Structure 1
Amino acid sequence: MITAERFYRHPLGILAASGLATLLWGSSYPFIKWSYSSLDIGRTDTFEQLLFAGYRFTLAGLLILLFMLARRERLAYQPGSLRILAPIALFQTVLQYICFYAGMALSSGVIGAVIAGTISFFQIALAHFVYRDDRLNGTKAAGLLIGFSGLAVLGFSNAAHTGGPIFSVGEILLMASSFFSAAANLISRRGASAYSVTYLNGYQMLLGGVALMLISGWKSGFAPFAFDGKSSLMLLHLALVSAVAFMLWNNVMKYNAVGSVSMYLFLIPVFGVLQSALLLGEQLHLSVLAALLLVSLGIVVVNRKKSSAAFKQTSESTGLAK
């Protein structure tokens, strides 16, 4: 019998779960843009953007709790868990998506997708200070340099074309979102040793989603949108993206070293850029492609040796590779 642990530790299980999670995350860029257009949410309608995010994560949390109910998992609050749920909700939902939704309104889908690749770099850098077995070395440092040079290419290209600053406010907000996401991933990994992934994700998204609605609702009202069938399906898709992708990714994080799985995050900018170009019709300029290549290469390089060793160790320990 293949248990959840054996699946998420096996190289093919890691690839399948990480691939599906990053594919779903990549789809969020065009779907957020579509949602803004469908609901008439403008670039400067910050409170409406945050309210829509609150809808999304509240619904995602409820979907996870329904999934737990269907599996007859324990739904009751577990004493002491608020100490881990609160910081995860703060970093992974509230802070990350305040920056993300505001940044996406001020940037294109392809740019947002490229910047999302920095989650891996922030995660590797933060893991150096949190985990003794995930220290930076020469290979990781080279990967970080390559990856962040991709952002430099993007920034200097923008400055050359617009005559403005290297990075716009929207791009800075998206970088901040990536940082908060990386920090939340590490907190979630630590919390997963004591609580189930479904429990952590369900309640942190519910807490974070309600917090976002309270933060924004006092200014925009709690029901300013005129939802139709199309926009409702978009909201449902985004909620499912959050519920499914976070559960898959946090299970991968739970059973594997951070450094051995972070390389798969390079698929987020790849999938995000491709889906934004195909679904939104956004142009892929040479600078965007160069930045995407460097960011993706940096993510692969920063984990190259670690992932190879983890693949061998996992195959030997599970016996499933035979």
Structure 2
Amino acid sequence: MTAAKFFTHPLGIFGASVSATLLWGSSYPFIKLSYERLGIGSHDTLEQIIFAGYRFSLAGLLILLFMLIRNEKLYYQRGSGGMVVSIALFQTVLQYMFFYVGLSMSAGVVGAVIAGTISFFQILLAHFLYKNDKINGAKGVGLLAGFIGLLVLGLSKHDGSSGLHFSLGEVLLIAASLFTAIANLMSKKAAASYSIPYINGYQMLVGGIVLCAIGAWRTGWFPFHFDGISFLMLLHLALVSALAFMLWNNVMKYNSVGSVSMYLFLIPVFGVLQSALFLGEPLSAAVLAALALVSIGIIIVNRRKLKAAATRAA
């Protein structure tokens, strides 16, 4: 089965999308655990940025190693420089600079919930950018169901307060979600001309080096003392980035933005579940309600595609 057939088949879309969002969901507790292990506090902004730089530089190198093993071309491809730099700016530098600093000021559960706004931004942007990717009735209902699921999570207060409250950390996380949505659309465009490993590998490496340079401004290039556990955490986060972005960008390459963006609503669900498991953060019945709403939203958005696949298979 070719990549195009796999990533356009409903089961392929489902498997790749769920795997990518599951991996991304694990980043919330692992970043918080890494901060604790390395002694990075909520006000240690430059240390947070350089740690993000380590992660993405390593992720980029892992992807390039994968390309080398597969005998893929690593040399510069004409015309790709501008795309690589632009994607690196939005997907790695801006997104993760805001994300890492914002997450240090927020609970893992809250960060995971806010990540669901990536889908909202992405579908909304696609509606205005692509003539054949408008928000129709099914997408609107599915989007509404998923967004209500996020509100259920957001209103299940972790601190006992009532209503919706947005701290500085949460505002930074929302901004990071917007940058993610923009970068995803840029990556979709780049994938039409260049291989996904090539774009991801180099943009992560470039973005990671920039983050390291920003963080090293006052901290130096090596401000941490890694032990075996903290290094394995960093390696896990790098693998998460490498694998998740490879899977997600393949799904984005072969499908319309609106039909797959709903899966991004799974990031907060997986993030909440894993934050509860690894960080011991409270897990309420609201999570189960949100999971049900997200699942309903995914089914509604993909109902026509699933019917078409069943008709072809009959």
TM-score by length of 1: 0.89
Please tell me whether the aligned partners of residues 148 and 295 of structure 1 are also in contact (alpha carbons under 8 angstroms): no
Partner of 2:16: 17
Gap change, CA 1:159 and 1:242, over 3 Å in 2: closer
Gap change, CA 1:299 and 1:50, over 3 Å in 2: farther
Partner of 1:227: 226
**Gapped regions of structure 2 (runs ≥ 5):** none
In 2, distance between residues paired with 1:136 and 1:176? 22
In 1, distance between residues paired with 2:164 and 2:146? 20
Partner of 1:215: 214
In 2, distance between residues paired with 1:234 and 1:27? 11
CA drift of 1:295 comes to 8.4
Query: What does the per-residue CA deviation read over 1:239-273, in whole Å, with 9 as the maximum and x for residues that have no partner?
Result: 00000010011001111111221222222111111
SS in structure 1 at match of 2:302: helix
Partner of 2:243: 244
| One-letter amino acid of the structure 1 residue matched with residue 49 of structure 2 | L
1:20-39 alignment runs, 5 A limit: 20-39=19-38
1:158-177 alignment runs, 5 A limit: 161=160, 166-177=165-176
In 2, distance between residues paired with 1:179 and 1:33? 22
Please tell me whether the aligned partners of residues 17 and 249 of structure 1 are also in contact (alpha carbons under 8 angstroms): yes
Query: What does the per-residue CA deviation read over 1:7-65, in whole Å, with 9 as the maximum and x for residues that have no partner?
Result: 11111111111121111111101100110000000001011000000000000000000
Please tell me whether the aligned partners of residues 155 and 162 of structure 2 are also in contact (alpha carbons under 8 angstroms): no
In 2, distance between residues paired with 1:50 and 1:33? 14
Query: What does the per-residue CA deviation read over 1:46-103, in whole Å, with 9 as the maximum and x for residues that have no partner?
Result: 1100000000000000000000000000000111101211111111111110111011
Q: Aligned match of 2:306 in 301, 304, 311?
A: 311
In 1, distance between residues paired with 2:190 and 2:292? 28
Partner of 1:198: 197
**Gapped regions of structure 1 (runs ≥ 5):** none
Gap change, CA 1:61 and 1:146, over 3 Å in 2: same
How many residue pairs get aligned? The number is 314
1:43-192 alignment runs, 5 A limit: 43-148=42-147, 161=160, 166-192=165-191
CA drift of 1:151 comes to 5.6
Please tell me whether the aligned partners of residues 87 and 187 of structure 2 are also in contact (alpha carbons under 8 angstroms): yes
Please tell me whether the aligned partners of residues 143 and 299 of structure 1 are also in contact (alpha carbons under 8 angstroms): no
Partner of 2:2: 3
SS in structure 2 at match of 1:64: helix
Gap change, CA 1:137 and 1:12, over 3 Å in 2: closer
SS in structure 2 at match of 1:248: helix
TM-score by length of 2: 0.91
RMSD: 2.4
Please tell me whether the aligned partners of residues 120 and 299 of structure 1 are also in contact (alpha carbons under 8 angstroms): no
CA drift of 1:311 comes to 2.9
In 1, distance between residues paired with 2:77 and 2:146? 40
